[in-house]
Structure 1
């Protein structure tokens, strides 16, 4: 994305799991951008959740409603931040990123499906990118800094195994 377009985008709104709980009770939708195998190990519960993996986001983003608040979430908040910026670029204005993600959700004792022990696996997978078996620091993952808008297919998904991102 060129610098002129990046400057036009507002800063993504970020919310913690506690604030997310309040918004979800008021009717917000939670969109989990983790891969299906991650969701199967441990998932968000107690609210309306839609899973649109980041690897499929470019093809499925139109499933996200424009007429209500939407909270994007993942393991630690990096992939969901990318999805948040992607939707903002598409003209969405009621989207926000849950940071730090399922790890804090579990730590706060909010409802989950699966096993809380799976959170460590989910966090490790979210740090892995670009087909590498080695974790990549979150700030440099996928070739951009945290908050740098990116095409979901060029990051953590586009053909990568679901065990990595």
Structure 2
């Protein structure tokens, strides 16, 4: 019997902070912080760009990114970035990864 309520796995990868740290160093990657601008200003991963996933223009701003480049997404705890990663994959981004635990679990220094 088929289970119609079973959810399919995400089309993006979930990475631990250690896996995320290694993967984001690969050439050509986009590092996307989807927190609010005030959270971003308080400290973010080096090289990250900020597009707030809760902002009304999120989809428009995200669509301007290169869909062919690996895109690594994070937030404070991993919840908003999972939502953003799902939206990016639905929008046609080929290689998307979400950082589990967000900056709360990040052990490297943040940039201000």
TM-score above 0.5, yes or no = yes
Aligned partner of residue 60 in structure 1, secondary structure? helix
1:57 touches 1:83 (CA, 8 Å); kept in 2?
A: no
Q: CA deviation at 1:10?
A: 4.4
5+ long unaligned stretches in structure 2: none
Higher helix fraction: Structure 1 or Structure 2? 1
In structure 1, runs of 5+ residues without a counterpart are 115-165
Specify the alignment match of 1:13 in structure 2: 13
- Partner Cα separation in structure 2 for residue 19 and residue 70 of structure 1: 14
Deviations 1:14-55 (A, max 9, x none): 01121111112112221000011011112112xx21111111
Contact 1:80–1:98 at 8 Å: present in 2 too? yes
Query: How far apart are the structure 1 equivalents of 2:100 and 2:37?
Result: 20
CA distance in 2 between counterparts of 1:87 and 1:11 reads 10
What is the SS of the residue equivalent to 1:113?
A: coil
Query: Residue in 2 aligned with 1:31?
Result: 32
Give the structure-1-normalised TM-score: 0.57
Q: Matched residues in 2 for 1:34 and 1:93: separation?
A: 22
Deviation at 1:113, TM superposition (A): 2.2
Q: How many residues align?
A: 104
Which residue is 2:98 aligned to?
A: 97
